[in-house]
Structure 1
């Protein structure tokens, strides 16, 4: 009876050992497969400085084992080109999503949103001038200028003209991203616009001479 029990126990332990060995070999094979399976990853071809905008000439596509792929690694060129680095990136280093940002995603530094050749200039606005505080970052507006002319008798004529057309809005108050349904409404009293240097001076001069109003463009793309 005792020998039969020992035999059954030996068979049971053998089955367990076989099962554990099978699972181990399966995991080893899976690891080998992942090491043999290469995937694309984007590497820096040169040193990329913080705040530098990434171009296709700065990066290269390489292949690495899937198992060695870092979390958040950028795998296609369009994911990187046009974005700016939020930290220095060494030559040969993989580009990671949390170290890149687009102009539209920028929440802290308005200087990162300004395109080359342009400037950021802020003007004070009231509730009506800002289209009832409905203008949002990344909207496009026209700037209308009104100026009171010298009085003629009891009448002081007001001249109104289109000062600037289709200007990009960088920020409203200190907010640089569009409002979401979860955000608490905060009234703002200034708007930051993106202008070339000459238009920025024209806007500041007009603000000193009279009043400006903003006219909001539609974001809806018309059907073809």
Structure 2
């Protein structure tokens, strides 16, 4: 073999060796992808769209697995702590429940507009100590309403008293809208908010301007019935 051929072969072999060595260095220094297993948790999400003020039931809830790092500190985790609560804003399917987006039934009752049944209105009337059964009337009591007025008849005054309504639901006394669940300090009030139909609400406002009204407290043992006017 001529010296020229040997020189050419050496150059080729050197190039191959250099290429193989560089590939080896590249593979040996390349970062190895770390296999990371992230912890996950199960949370409760809405199984269907929910409207504002809608009550949460078990059928409207489902589980969803998310990375633990994505867990919000206010996320509610169990069905037990959600059932029976109300959502405070519209929710879409798959949304998580946060503590600031739900409220209890007692919180719900604190909004007088949410206590009023469909077709009825809340109307407040002034009462004094005697007229309100010594201010012993409480929210959710049922009362009969008596109206008294003085009528001038043949140069003399005549006092007329009649029963206006029976078993009217009391929504609030003063600013108290939730019935007491434990002994509490005595407090007086000067207004009572009642649940009446629009027509009956107008009627009671009219008669309260003409005379005085008294409340008769019904027993809670009696079966409640719808408001009825006389």
Relative to the length of structure 2, the TM-score reads 0.62
Please tell me whether the aligned partners of residues 45 and 94 of structure 2 are also in contact (alpha carbons under 8 angstroms): no
**Counterpart in 2 of 1:90?**
92
Please tell me whether the aligned partners of residues 42 and 76 of structure 1 are also in contact (alpha carbons under 8 angstroms): no
The alpha-carbon deviation at position 105 of structure 1 amounts to 4.9
Alpha-carbon displacement from aligned partner over 1:81-111 (angstroms, at most 9, x marks no partner): xx64334433333567871333x55464211
Rounded to whole Å, the distance in 2 between the matches of 1:113 and 1:212 is: 24
**Counterpart in 2 of 1:159?**
160
Provide closer, same or farther for how the CA distance between residues 181 and 47 of structure 1 changes in structure 2, counting only shifts above 3 A. closer
The alpha-carbon deviation at position 46 of structure 1 amounts to 0.9
Rounded to whole Å, the distance in 1 between the matches of 2:194 and 2:213 is: 13
The alpha-carbon deviation at position 171 of structure 1 amounts to 0.5
The alpha-carbon deviation at position 159 of structure 1 amounts to 1.6
Instruction: Summarize the alignment of residues 98-117 of structure 1 with structure 2, pairs less than 5 Å apart.
Output: 99-102=102-105, 105-106=107-108, 108-117=110-119
Q: How many matched pairs?
A: 177
The alpha-carbon deviation at position 221 of structure 1 amounts to 5.3
Provide closer, same or farther for how the CA distance between residues 143 and 153 of structure 1 changes in structure 2, counting only shifts above 3 A. same
Rounded to whole Å, the distance in 2 between the matches of 1:44 and 1:100 is: 19
Is residue 135 of structure 2 the alignment partner of residue 133 of structure 1?
yes
Question: In structure 2, the residue corresponding to 1:149 is in which secondary structure?
Answer: strand
Relative to the length of structure 1, the TM-score reads 0.64
Please tell me whether the aligned partners of residues 151 and 159 of structure 2 are also in contact (alpha carbons under 8 angstroms): yes
Please tell me whether the aligned partners of residues 42 and 74 of structure 1 are also in contact (alpha carbons under 8 angstroms): no
**Counterpart in 1 of 2:192?**
191
Provide closer, same or farther for how the CA distance between residues 148 and 123 of structure 1 changes in structure 2, counting only shifts above 3 A. same
Q: Which runs of 5+ in 1 are unaligned?
A: 1-34
Rounded to whole Å, the distance in 2 between the matches of 1:209 and 1:72 is: 57
**Counterpart in 1 of 2:120?**
118
Q: Which runs of 5+ in 2 are unaligned?
A: 1-40, 69-74, 224-230
Instruction: Summarize the alignment of residues 1-224 of structure 1 with structure 2, pairs less than 5 Å apart.
Output: 43-49=46-52, 52-54=53-55, 60-63=60-63, 71=76, 73-75=78-80, 79-80=83-84, 84-93=86-95, 99-102=102-105, 105-106=107-108, 108-154=110-156, 156-220=157-221
Higher Cα Rg: structure 1 or 2? 2
Question: In structure 1, the residue corresponding to 2:202 is in which secondary structure?
Answer: helix
Alpha-carbon RMSD across the aligned residues, in angstroms, is: 3.5
